[in-house]
Structure 1
Amino acid sequence: MEIDGHPLTYLLHLNGWSATKYLTRLDGEHRRLGYGRIATKDRKRVTRWTRYGITPEMPAQLAMAALHGIPAEEITARPWPEWLKLACIRERQLLDAAWNPQTTIELLDRVAATGGPMERRGFLVVTGIAPLLAGAAAAEPATARTQGRRIGRQTPALFDKSLAILRRQDDQLGSGQVHASARAQLRLITTTLKTRTCTEETTRQLYGAAAEASRICAWTAYDSGYHALAEEYYLVALRAASSSHDPVVTANTLAFWAIMRYSTGDPRGAADLVHGALGQALRIDSPRMAAMLHARLARAHAHAGDSRASARAQNAALDAYDRARDRSPEEDPDCVYWVNLGELRMLAGSCALNLGRPGEALTQFTDAEDGRRSADVYREDDFPRGAAIYLAREAEARIALDDLDGAVDTAHRAVDHMGGVTSARGTSTLDNLRSKLAARKDVPLVRDFLESTA
């Protein structure tokens, strides 16, 4: 049976409960907590919760938490129904296994062997970031491998070239078309680790390549809307990065994981991940990477509604980028090839929008498109999915400022950029923009746009 995306639906199926049986169990907890009875025959109540976006009243949520053994404080830490996913965790090995190279290979082998299309496999939710970072910091480093035919020092470099191509293909084509290729690379790297003899240095480089391949799998899964699968790949990526003792791949993994975290209701966890990445950045001579990490921290704080902390992080990002101006981009790790001043301004505009400052957001968005130097301009043609998402946010800012002409013009540009790109995240962003414009469909210009893009 295929399970839809709601954790309560998953729990009902997992336990073999009908809606009536579930309400009966819930009624017992509801009364035990002193909230009175629940109508156990009202099966449509469960349907309203799972299919129509109705949020249960707080007493019902507290009863659910008690029924499923979830601490009540998680209800305030996570929005409904995110906190209920804590009852759905199946993949405990990824969380509890020892942090050593052999266990990492076993876990890499397991996730790399997953065949077929991306699919929901339960709900894996990491509840605490600090223990993961502590485990990563104490992880045993990889040592030389002594089984199978010896490979040379050039093998990791070949994998790095393939991964660099995958990163750029994701920019141009979207995650839906790249995920399978990333998974194939992960399988190949993992097989090489398992079956070949190599020096300690080469082994650590292969673990680093496996970490980046898993990170790309995670990112493309998240961008395609498969958050549980992405979380699984991020966990394995962090383990492989820790075995490699490579600060670059570790910091990059944590930074991309943070994007998913603050975008799905956990800005505090995202901030913890970025702080972990910034600790790695102390070992990396890359102001461009430091700028990217501070910009990610600013996004996490903006999602949390902390304007002062977000502003501090934005200033730190710009200061770091100023130090990058005198360097060639080739001096920085390849994984930050996409970072320039235009990108940082787009991220600053996104922060302002999260914080309810559409005027400031619009200034940042337009400045990103009109840099004085070509190296400072956001490169829309190189990043069509990113451009579509940022343009949708710019259109949202214009709607808030009652500039409907500008909003519609910007929305058309966003739609044009998404043509040929497969990205559930990008599509969802455009759908949200259409919903905001639909509130003004009495305006002919807006109505024409909605009809032409239906």
Structure 2
Amino acid sequence: MDIDEHPLAYLLHQQGWSASDYLVRLGAVHQRLGYGPIARDRKRVTRWTRGGVTPDLHAQKAMAALHGIPEQEITARPWPEWLKLACVHDRQFLSAEWTLTATIELLDRVATTGGTMDRRGFLVVTGITPVLAGAATAQPAAARAHGRRVGADTPELFEQSLAILRRQDDVLGSGQVHASARAQLRLIVTTLRTTSYTEEIGRRLHGVAAEAARICAWTAYDSGRRGLAEEYYLVGLRAAASSGDQVVTANILAFWAMLRYATGDPRGASALVADALGRAERIGSPAMNAMLYARLARAHARAGDHRASDRAVNAAFDAYDRARDCASEEEPDCVYWLNLGELHMQAGSCELDLGRPGGALRHFTAASAGLRAFDAYREEDFPRSTAIFLAREAEARMALGDLDGAVDSARRSLDHLGDLSSARGTSSLTDLRARFAGHRAVPVVRDFLAQTA
């Protein structure tokens, strides 16, 4: 299912109902609620799903009753957002209390089954603010007295394994790493449920569970399974909040923000990053700050806010300068990938989103300048990201009328992607081919399209 599919169209497809079938069922409920008969013109359903028409309040109440959704959700969420609740197979992920028992149960469920939300991409968190409010009330991790005793070496081993997984994802791609991340999460959850430990070790175990869930979320997102990714982020945030680990929490929020602005919710993405930045003083990491401001810049750019995006880009570069000045101080391992080249890539993407291809190309060029420099973008270490950014560079060159340069960047992108497993990488090239299609009459473009068909 495409992420932009209307929830009513999705429900009809899932149930195998035609528009007429649906109106018969809806009409019966509409009548039972005392609202009288409902017109059975099948075009009405088309207008609801494709024409931007909002059903009247009585029709929405009948829909809520038909799909088992509490009526108050109609006023709490706009149409058709509230109807997305009918697409969730298990609403406990959204409604469970922020207790240790609920968190471990949900961690166990996603680790064992891979989650329960729609696999093909439906996001169901329609408001980020309630999630962040829930995280603020999370029950802190506690000691456990039953089972074999484990000490500090256990979370340390998990931390080492997760650091390896992060780097394997860079080189091998998300498709191959996702299964390993799930296996690691299952092992951590088993440890949480069956061993005894102190409160401090309990916090660390919740922290590694949160990071394992984040890697599961990221690899699911990069594999094109956006709904599943959001489920992992939700559960990961629960574990992070109970751990009290500000670095793990901020990292989850930052990666979740990528998912939200990529799926049309830049405001939600900004809220996630703002929460993460609120933890910055306690973290004390200039590199983490640079990463967070880069995420904030992307969210503002997706929202079309030039000034806010530019301010955040400048803040990201300023923070990175402080990180270089404090190079002797230890930074969190989760920002190992950040360097000046990466920031230029992010800034270039912002420029592209804001319709400024000239500025985008300047940043993309700066990112790869002096490939042997310490803080240049290391293409061989990050082939998937390099492929995606080169596709964006090609888009900028195309917008500037440099078709030869655009094709050259596109070919380099294809070379870096190779056989890496990444739906995002593949999608970036598919989108680029669609853009090239309008220039098919140009020989160099025609040859590229023929060779990559």
Instruction: Give the TM-score normalised by structure 1.
Output: 0.88
Equivalent AA in structure 1 for residue 243 of structure 2: S
Find the counterpart in structure 2 of residue 52 from structure 1.
none
Contact 1:62/1:72 (8 A) holds in 2: no
**What secondary structure, in the 3-state scheme, does the structure 2 residue paired with 1:180 have?**
helix
Distance (whole Å) between structure 1 residues aligned to residue 141 and residue 346 of structure 2: 36
Written as runs of structure 1 = structure 2, the 5 A alignment for 1:129-278 is: 129-278=128-277
**What secondary structure, in the 3-state scheme, does the structure 2 residue paired with 1:99 have?**
coil
Distance (whole Å) between structure 1 residues aligned to residue 452 and residue 379 of structure 2: 21
Equivalent AA in structure 2 for residue 264 of structure 1: T
Find the counterpart in structure 1 of residue 52 from structure 2.
58
Find the counterpart in structure 2 of residue 97 from structure 1.
96
Distance (whole Å) between structure 1 residues aligned to residue 27 and residue 357 of structure 2: 45
* Count of aligned positions: 437
After superposition, the Cα gap between the structure-2 partners of 1:40 and 1:138, relative to the gap in structure 1 and judged at 3 Å, is closer
Find the counterpart in structure 1 of residue 20 from structure 2.
20
Contact 2:110/2:116 (8 A) holds in 1: no
**What secondary structure, in the 3-state scheme, does the structure 2 residue paired with 1:58 have?**
coil
Shift of 1:130: 1.3
**What secondary structure, in the 3-state scheme, does the structure 1 residue paired with 2:149 have?**
coil
Identity over aligned residues, as a percent? Answer: 65
Contact 2:74/2:82 (8 A) holds in 1: no
Distance (whole Å) between structure 1 residues aligned to residue 277 and residue 292 of structure 2: 7
Bigger shift: residues 321-330 or 432-441: 321-330
Distance (whole Å) between structure 2 residues aligned to residue 116 and residue 73 of structure 1: 26
After superposition, the Cα gap between the structure-2 partners of 1:409 and 1:13, relative to the gap in structure 1 and judged at 3 Å, is closer
| Divergent runs of 4+, >3 A | 3-10, 13-16, 23-29, 36-39, 60-76, 81-87, 115-119, 121-124
Contact 1:302/1:310 (8 A) holds in 2: yes
Distance (whole Å) between structure 2 residues aligned to residue 227 and residue 317 of structure 1: 27
Find the counterpart in structure 2 of residue 402 from structure 1.
401
**What secondary structure, in the 3-state scheme, does the structure 1 residue paired with 2:148 have?**
coil
Contact 2:371/2:378 (8 A) holds in 1: no
Q: For residues 22-73 of structure 1, give each alpha carbon's deviation from its aligned partner in whole angstroms, at most 9, with x where no partner exists.
A: 35678999xxx9xx97742899x69xx9xxxxx7112267798676457599
Written as runs of structure 1 = structure 2, the 5 A alignment for 1:425-440 is: 425-440=424-439
After superposition, the Cα gap between the structure-2 partners of 1:359 and 1:122, relative to the gap in structure 1 and judged at 3 Å, is closer
Distance (whole Å) between structure 2 residues aligned to residue 341 and residue 295 of structure 1: 11
Q: For residues 138-183 of structure 1, give each alpha carbon's deviation from its aligned partner in whole angstroms, at most 9, with x where no partner exists.
A: 2121111111110121110100010011111111111111110000
Bigger shift: residues 326-335 or 303-312: 326-335
- 1:286 equivalenced with 2:280 (yes/no): no
Contact 1:294/1:314 (8 A) holds in 2: yes
After superposition, the Cα gap between the structure-2 partners of 1:72 and 1:414, relative to the gap in structure 1 and judged at 3 Å, is farther
After superposition, the Cα gap between the structure-2 partners of 1:341 and 1:115, relative to the gap in structure 1 and judged at 3 Å, is closer
Distance (whole Å) between structure 1 residues aligned to residue 44 and residue 128 of structure 2: 39
Bigger shift: residues 133-142 or 331-340: 133-142
Contact 2:297/2:309 (8 A) holds in 1: yes
Contact 2:90/2:116 (8 A) holds in 1: no
Contact 2:171/2:384 (8 A) holds in 1: yes
Distance (whole Å) between structure 1 residues aligned to residue 249 and residue 206 of structure 2: 11
Contact 1:10/1:122 (8 A) holds in 2: no
Q: For residues 274-307 of structure 1, give each alpha carbon's deviation from its aligned partner in whole angstroms, at most 9, with x where no partner exists.
A: 0011112221021000000011000000000000
Find the counterpart in structure 2 of residue 40 from structure 1.
42
After superposition, the Cα gap between the structure-2 partners of 1:116 and 1:42, relative to the gap in structure 1 and judged at 3 Å, is closer
Equivalent AA in structure 2 for residue 111 of structure 1: V
**What secondary structure, in the 3-state scheme, does the structure 2 residue paired with 1:159 have?**
helix
Distance (whole Å) between structure 2 residues aligned to residue 160 and residue 118 of structure 1: 28
Distance (whole Å) between structure 2 residues aligned to residue 83 and residue 446 of structure 1: 45
Equivalent AA in structure 2 for residue 265 of structure 1: G
**What secondary structure, in the 3-state scheme, does the structure 2 residue paired with 1:152 have?**
coil
Contact 1:97/1:103 (8 A) holds in 2: yes
Equivalent AA in structure 1 for residue 22 of structure 2: Y
Find the counterpart in structure 1 of residue 313 from structure 2.
314
After superposition, the Cα gap between the structure-2 partners of 1:309 and 1:67, relative to the gap in structure 1 and judged at 3 Å, is farther
Equivalent AA in structure 2 for residue 57 of structure 1: G
After superposition, the Cα gap between the structure-2 partners of 1:133 and 1:306, relative to the gap in structure 1 and judged at 3 Å, is same
Shift of 1:82: 7.6
Shift of 1:327: 2.8
Distance (whole Å) between structure 2 residues aligned to residue 275 and residue 156 of structure 1: 29
Q: Which runs of 5+ in 2 are unaligned?
A: 30-34, 65-72
Distance (whole Å) between structure 2 residues aligned to residue 265 and residue 83 of structure 1: 17
Equivalent AA in structure 2 for residue 201 of structure 1: E
Contact 1:258/1:274 (8 A) holds in 2: yes
Contact 2:12/2:22 (8 A) holds in 1: yes
Q: For residues 388-425 of structure 1, give each alpha carbon's deviation from its aligned partner in whole angstroms, at most 9, with x where no partner exists.
A: 11000000001100100000000000001110210111
Distance (whole Å) between structure 1 residues aligned to residue 311 and residue 121 of structure 2: 38
Equivalent AA in structure 2 for residue 424 of structure 1: A
Shift of 1:255: 0.2
Distance (whole Å) between structure 2 residues aligned to residue 324 and residue 252 of structure 1: 17
Distance (whole Å) between structure 2 residues aligned to residue 67 and residue 302 of structure 1: 39
After superposition, the Cα gap between the structure-2 partners of 1:66 and 1:386, relative to the gap in structure 1 and judged at 3 Å, is farther
Contact 1:166/1:182 (8 A) holds in 2: yes
**What secondary structure, in the 3-state scheme, does the structure 1 residue paired with 2:279 have?**
helix
Equivalent AA in structure 2 for residue 128 of structure 1: G
**What secondary structure, in the 3-state scheme, does the structure 1 residue paired with 2:106 have?**
helix
Contact 2:292/2:316 (8 A) holds in 1: yes
**What secondary structure, in the 3-state scheme, does the structure 1 residue paired with 2:325 have?**
coil
Find the counterpart in structure 2 of residue 422 from structure 1.
421
Equivalent AA in structure 1 for residue 188 of structure 2: I
**What secondary structure, in the 3-state scheme, does the structure 1 residue paired with 2:439 have?**
coil
Distance (whole Å) between structure 1 residues aligned to residue 344 and residue 74 of structure 2: 39
Distance (whole Å) between structure 2 residues aligned to residue 223 and residue 427 of structure 1: 10
Q: Which runs of 5+ in 1 are unaligned?
A: 50-54
Shift of 1:95: 1.6
Contact 1:88/1:124 (8 A) holds in 2: no
Contact 1:255/1:293 (8 A) holds in 2: yes
Shift of 1:88: 1.8
Distance (whole Å) between structure 2 residues aligned to residue 62 and residue 73 of structure 1: 16
Shift of 1:107: 0.9
Bigger shift: residues 193-202 or 328-337: 328-337
Q: For residues 82-112 of structure 1, give each alpha carbon's deviation from its aligned partner in whole angstroms, at most 9, with x where no partner exists.
A: 8863542333211221112222111111111
